[in-house]
Amino acid sequence: MTKKNRMMRREFLQCSTVAVIAGLAGNSAALSAADNPFEEAVKKVGRLPRRKLGYSNREISVLIGYGGLDEQLVEAAVKCGVNYWHLSNRWPRTGVPATILNNRDAHYCQVTVDRVGGNHETGRIDEEAHYRFVKEMLQQTKLGYFDDMQLHFGYHSTAELKKERGFIRAFERLKKEGLVKHLCLSQHGYAGNSRVPGGESAAEILTAVVDDGIYEHGQLMYSYGEDAATNSFLEYARKKGFGTIAMKTSRGIGRMKQDPEFMKSLPAGTTPHNALVRWLTTESKIDLAIIRIRNIEEFADTYSGAGRELRAADSRAISLMSARADSTACRLCTQCQPYCPQHVPIAEILRFERYALDDGDLDEAQALYADLDRKASDCVSCGSCMEHCPQQLRIPEKLKAAHRVLNA
Ligand code: SF4
Ligand code: SF4
């Protein structure tokens, strides 16, 4: 075993749940059974299938990684063939993992660029600021170039896409200098958002982006459950050769996993993350997906579903998960948003609730919530929003519960 691998294994065992349990119990048998959980996880996952993404037809692993992911999980993912890194500019705090830096051209690294002078609702697109930001990120990450430049959160409306071309100009300048190669965006929905006059839904904006023909691929919220507008956009995108990446995929899974009764109700041999990935990568209309993982056990469980058949038992699991998520976790469609007389940012609040309860990112969720100008406590329980919710969520009650979690 090389010095580096010994180090990785030691560091990994320090944070592994298996090791903690074994250590607490003083149970050496348990430790030897999980003697090398890193290698076992890599073996269980195997080699991820790849798909062509967007106009450039680049071959990319069906599950992509993301900046900020723990170095050992990156190492495991790379061993299994992950070759695209969303948010790779988020690594400067810890440094881009050596496995990527040392084999730079084998990876597609994406820089994610936010609006300036405000947040994703109030900020503006600014050619010069975006141009300078990407250069700054290149210096900090030492990546040399970014493969993809992403407009984070996307456009507010089709009108903005047509009128405001500053992001595209910044991309073209950087591309001429050899510093970026492909243009992409992630797209949230802004219909009925009182801070975004004229805002439109993600599907409307993305359809216009495809027709515009300049962006190569887009990231959008997508998970199990009926979503006709998104499904019809995905069909259109595929026909036009526009690449799609699913984000916010694990709708409600964190809460499901904490409910022993629900977990017992799943068919034998299935787990929520594994069934989700089987469905996403073999049955859905999406090209690639991002799934947040927190440790090597979650990596093995989740990534081992990639490209594997959706068995009858997995389909049953997906139906159960979908029904459960429909009663607990907002799909962030924003259909309720135009009907709130108080301008409560319902979808934003319930997005942060998902970060806290499903992803375990309470600190981030509370910080984002603290920045909102209107909170869940501004809801007057009028009920106007509820009839527009495809999940029939009891929105006022959900907002109250979310406020208790998010209001630090
Ligand atoms: S119930 Fe609350 S969130 Fe829904 S429309 Fe009324 S004030 Fe807005
Ligand atoms: S509360 Fe319902 S309508 Fe509103 S964003 Fe969530 S799922 Fe959509």
Kindly report the three-state secondary structure assignment for every residue of 247-314.
Answer: ECCCCCHHHHHCCHHHHHHCCCCCCHHHHHHHHHHHCCCCCEEECCCCCHHHHHHHHCCCCCCCCHHH
Would you state the pLDDT for residue 12?
37
Q: In whole angstroms, what is the distance from residue 173 CA to residue 179 CA? A: 9
323-333 pLDDT tens trace: 999 999 999 98
- Ligand 2: which of 339, 350, 385, 398 to mutate, judged by most atoms within 8 Å of the beta carbon? 350
> Which ligand is in closest contact with the Cα of 382?
1
Would you state the pLDDT for residue 34?
56
Q: In whole angstroms, what is the distance from residue 290 CA to residue 48 CA? A: 13
The rounded Å distance from CA 390 to ligand 2 centre is 7
CA triple 25-71-61, angle to 5 deg? 115
Is residue 395 in contact with ligand 1, taking CB distance under 6 Å? yes
The rounded Å distance from CA 72 to ligand 2 centre is 36
Would you state the pLDDT for residue 312?
98
- Ligand 1: which of 378, 381, 393 to mutate, judged by most atoms within 8 Å of the beta carbon? 381
Would you state the pLDDT for residue 20?
34
Positions of the chain with pLDDT lower than 70, given as ranges:
1-34
Domains and CATH numbers, the chain: 3-35 (no CATH), 45-328 (3.20.20.100), 337-406 (no CATH)
